[in-house]
Amino acid sequence: MRTESCRRRVAVTVSLLVLAGRSAHADDGVFEGSGGTVSLSGSDHVRMVAEEVVFDLRTPDVIRVSCLFVVVNEGPADTLLLGFPDYWPDADDDSPRPGVVSAIEDLVVTVDGRPVDTTALPAKDAPTAIGTGDQWCVPYNVAHVWNCSFAPGQTRVLRTEYSHGYSGSTSSSYNVSYVLRTGASWAGSIGAVVLRLIPGQMSLKDAWYPPEWHDTGTEFVWAATDLEPDCDIEVGMEIPAEYAAHLARAWRGEYDQGGAVAPEDAHRWVFGSSIFRHCRPQFLVEVSRALGSSLPDLSRELAALADSLSEEFR
């Protein structure tokens, strides 16, 4: 499935990469090495036929991630250098977890159920800055690599498990990032992909990319077939009760050092920025519910905004 741009892709799913200060997670990809560094490469006959990535968000300080990739060799015998991207912050980065060298922790990689040792090497030609517009890009600068052999026609099951801290932004406290473009290094398109967010007490607030998720009541799911990934995933999570308390303080002017503020200024504090630009309408309903009857004017404004965003989502 070839798409015109990331924001026009509606019913598609993928794989990821997780960073810390710039948190990231990603698909296993095909790399090549030279001089102690690696760069993203590709294969013309080993194809990823299925993947599932599960993000367990039930603890507010760390994300636990489990990735399953099924790949099949549709050509001659081969040995590939496989890798899982990571981000190692330098002294200039603001890390949400001081003292943590790597964005991902507790990394475990298995091939057909057997653990394999990985080597962390600097990644050349990797994106080092977050993209904008239709080309959202999650940066990485390291790849954990290992060799994997394939007999003709052989199917391999790759599993990657790890944990990492959340990143944040001006509009969301708990951001989940995923480098899905590394999945394009396999031959052809990815056959079937399922991405699952297990939210715990959190809820999906901002869907920067992908824009549409299915809420099952216990998790958020994004699925696709025949995917040719060309941009990365970023979503923002929040705890509705915490977010309601934050909006209530802003609405009352409690963030203003000068004391009470006029109603129009309070309105501008809450609605005059871009913090709701990519907000899921149902999240605003959940926040309004958490407010209860304490601030009826704010609740009415949130309900009106939810209705307006619902029209845009249709």
Q: φ, ψ for residue 147 (rounded to 5)?
A: -90, 140
Closest to 146 measured CA to CA, from 194, 183, 107, 181: 107
List pLDDT tens digits, range 82-123: 988 887 766 555 544 455 556 788 899 999 999 999 998 888
- Residues paired with 138 in a beta bridge: none
* CA distance linking residue 259 with residue 255, whole number of Å: 8
Question: Per the domain annotation, does 133 fall within a domain?
Answer: yes
Q: Based on the fold, state whether residues 186 and 250 are members of the same structural domain.
A: no
Q: φ, ψ for residue 179 (rounded to 5)?
A: -80, 100
Where do the H-state alpha helices sit in the chain?
Answer: 240-251, 263-271, 281-291, 296-313
Q: Based on the fold, state whether residues 253 and 185 are members of the same structural domain.
A: no
Domain final residue pick, 206, 238, 270: 238
Q: Based on the fold, state whether residues 260 and 146 are members of the same structural domain.
A: no
Residues of the chain under the 50 pLDDT cut: 1-24, 95-97, 131-134
Evaluate whether 144 touches 109 at the Cβ level (below 8 Å). yes
Give the pLDDT score at 1: 38
Question: Per the domain annotation, does 147 fall within a domain?
Answer: yes
The beta strand positions in 58-154, using DSSP E, are: 63-73, 78-86, 104-111, 114-115, 119-122, 142-150
* CA distance linking residue 92 with residue 285, whole number of Å: 39
Question: Per the domain annotation, does 24 fall within a domain?
Answer: yes
Give the pLDDT score at 190: 94
Q: Based on the fold, state whether residues 174 and 268 are members of the same structural domain.
A: no
Count of domains observed in the chain: 2
Q: Based on the fold, state whether residues 39 and 178 are members of the same structural domain.
A: yes
- Residues paired with 31 in a beta bridge: 40, 81
Q: Based on the fold, state whether residues 274 and 204 are members of the same structural domain.
A: no
Q: Based on the fold, state whether residues 160 and 244 are members of the same structural domain.
A: no
Closest to 238 measured CA to CA, from 162, 290, 299: 290
* CA distance linking residue 13 with residue 82, whole number of Å: 21
Helix (H, G, I), strand (E, B) or coil at 13: coil
List the domain range (segments joined by +) for residue 26. Answer: 6-238
DSSP state of 189: -
Q: Based on the fold, state whether residues 46 and 130 are members of the same structural domain.
A: yes
Evaluate whether 248 touches 294 at the Cβ level (below 8 Å). yes
List pLDDT tens digits, range 13-61: 222 222 223 444 556 677 776 557 667 788 999 999 999 999 999 987 8
- CATH code of 164's domain: 2.60.40.3680
Give the pLDDT score at 139: 66
Q: How many CB atoms lie within 10 A of CB 77?
A: 11
Domain final residue pick, 183, 215, 238: 238
Domain final residue pick, 204, 238, 272: 238
